Structure 1
């Protein structure tokens, strides 16, 4: 089945917080695609239609947005079930109940979230492959057995992480890519490109894309230079910023952010803070550059960029934390709300995001 490409669309990623979908925020920056995931071990499999995230997703469908839904199976604390076991049968039953309400209603369904992360230590091997292959085949069979409308939902599998690193080119990853290529009903692979350099983003594409069929495409449902930013949150904040806003000289970047979490700063101060950090401004065109790279392959279906990182975080940002709040299209909880109670567009990602909508 040949992929139906969307010319490299750029949409909004809400991860597990589909309930945070805000139609006004999406429209402000021109987003038409929404992506989120549901945890298959957290959702009420007996009544999935009552799940708040599913309800929020369907409201977006009714409002005319295109949607990507990923299914997450968290096996970090348990062994994969053996085929035919009660546990495996329960997984398939829960899957079928959810498929009965989403198939034909969402535009894209992704089998998996981050399987090579959401796995018990030592089991990212053929046991993982066998489990996800059984799920994929169940999804494919379900779609074939139902009405023509079910066929409108395109199928992807993944998401794979850090394939820029040769150490991640494991037999299990190779097997998953081969499996994706072997199934005509799968439109391609989902990739999570959290990589510190654009050269690394390219390396991951150069590894993954030749291993699926030429007629298949990819999703990039998460992408950032997060690990580059994480390296720098222990840096000293700029002398300019500290002097202007009364912070002691030597205040660390994460301490400035923590101060904002405790007492949200004006938006102008947030921009002043970020715009004077060279490590941040080095990638001020990241969304534009990444989208040009992805679209340049001719094989991008949809990429989605974060709309939900740490929007309501109250805990301090520690030196060892991952600063997801730097990556969102809308400003995080370290920034004051607008007078009307809405969030400010984040610097510089909202402008980049809007620009890439018009550049499709």
Structure 2
């Protein structure tokens, strides 16, 4: 199959907000606004909540109500076990996101009882707005992408229908695909990937049109593009992904997951997307972090001031301190001190604020969601080579012990997140 690409050259450049900046400059002329002016001439005003009414799709089942604009919510990925709605309310968050693995257990069990789906449906019933991503984990299952018309494809579509029966009209946003490029075999990350996901998307569109001919609450987005900060992450397949979004009126945009090592890298990532999305199309950022930067410092020695204050051997490594916190959760003050005294972390304490502002100032952000709690998979098998996702969440429920009934938190992220709800 030929590629359908409307690729445009990167003429807008990296937003200057992605470069190191002082707080004074950040509060003045934001570099992300320059990206907005260059790449999205008619972009809307950034917002922290609901936004303008987007043009409806040209067929039945089009979404109803206002489209989100610049909202910030929380993400639990696949595991909501440690999250409760009181925690979400304490953050003043209105959006909750998770994903469901599209595996064969959905064929024989009620999808509505699957833990991520059940929690999102519960969230919806409790007044939260919800985002569900459909994850097709072909790589971890050792499977190839099914071909259109095959028995394998028919099985996938029946599975999709079972999930749609449970969530369509109840979720606010449905994302078709979680991280397709990371969940597909390397040798299939080309047009074959596009063909599969486009076929699923057309199926979902047809389902919504048939079941909700007079309009549907659920908006449709395509899943996340990964590793766009690097040239090797930008391929004909990623160009075709954006082209498909642009030419389908029923698809409102796409998702991105910029897990990067710097704001500069995030700027390149965002620039790629906003310079290619057509007017009226938006993006989600349902996952984002500096985890690649944290990973580069796991073998650093513990800060001398921290070692002295807490009587830790000076040759102790960062990953070992985190391991100690996992094994025996720290008091809140000790966890805060560990991070504040670590230059690799403290120098990025404004990351969450700057990243969300970068997203919003493009005028194209629909919703961003940030990790809410430390889940079991983040601590399982902890060691020197474990990716430190555990440093990302707002709540440090597995590295900080509960005090006076209050769940532990990574204070700098928690406070930044709350402030961003009011900005």
- The aligned residue for residue 71 of structure 2 is 9
Which residue, 231, 241, 259 being the options, matches 1:194?
259
- Give secondary structure in 2 for the equivalent of 1:222: coil
- The one of 246, 252, 256 aligned to 1:181: 246
Q: Output the CA distance in 1 between the equivalents of 2:214 and 2:286.
A: 24
State how far apart, in whole Å, the 1-side matches of 2:281 and 2:244 are.
13
Separation in structure 1 between the aligned mates of residue 378 and residue 144 of structure 2, nearest angstrom: 32
**1:61 corresponds to which of 103, 109, 124:** 124
CA deviation digits over 1:141-165, x for unaligned, max 9? 1111112576221100021111111
Native 8 Å contact 1:267 1:336 kept in 2: yes
Given that residues 2 and 216 in structure 1 are in contact (C-alpha distance below 8 angstroms), is that contact kept between their aligned partners in structure 2? Answer: no
Aligned match of 2:417 = 353
The offset of 1:118, in angstroms, is 0.2
Q: Label 1:237 to 1:272 Cα distance change in 2 as closer, same or farther (>3 A).
A: same
Query: Does residue 33 in structure 1 map to residue 98 in structure 2?
Result: no
Correspondence for 1:333:
398
CA distance in 2 between counterparts of 1:42 and 1:235 reads 43
TM-score by length of 2: 0.81
The alpha-carbon distance between structure 1 residues 193 and 314, as it changes in their structure 2 partners (threshold 3 A), is closer
1:74 matched residue in structure 2: 137
Q: Greater shift after overlay, 312-321 or 251-260?
A: 312-321
Alpha-carbon deviations, 1:166-218, whole Å to 9, x = none?
11111111111111111110000100011111121111111112222211000
2:310 pairs, out of 229, 245, 252, with 245
Q: Would you say 1:117 and 2:170 are equivalent positions?
A: no
Partners of 2:374 and 2:398 within 8 A in 1: no
Report the equivalent of 1:107.
172
The DSSP-based 3-state class of the residue aligned with 1:320 is: coil
Deviation larger for 2-11 or 153-162: 2-11
Cα pair 2:261 2:291 within 8 Å, conserved: yes
SS in 1 for 2:357: helix
State how far apart, in whole Å, the 1-side matches of 2:218 and 2:145 are.
Answer: 27
5+ residue gaps in structure 2?
A: 1-53, 57-65
More displaced 10-residue stretch of structure 1: 222-231 or 5-14: 5-14
Please state whether the residue corresponding to 2:229 is helix, strand or coil. Answer: coil
SS in 2 for 1:322: coil
Q: Distance in 2 between matches of 1:305 and 1:161?
A: 16
The CA deviation string for residues 56-84 of structure 1, in whole angstroms up to 9 with x for no partner, is 21111111000000000011111111111
Contact 2:79–2:115 (CA<8 Å) still a contact in 1? no
- The alignment partner of 2:275 has SS state of helix
Aligned to 1:280: 345
Q: Distance in 1 between matches of 2:399 and 2:162?
A: 40
Q: Which residue of 2 aligns with 1:299?
A: 364
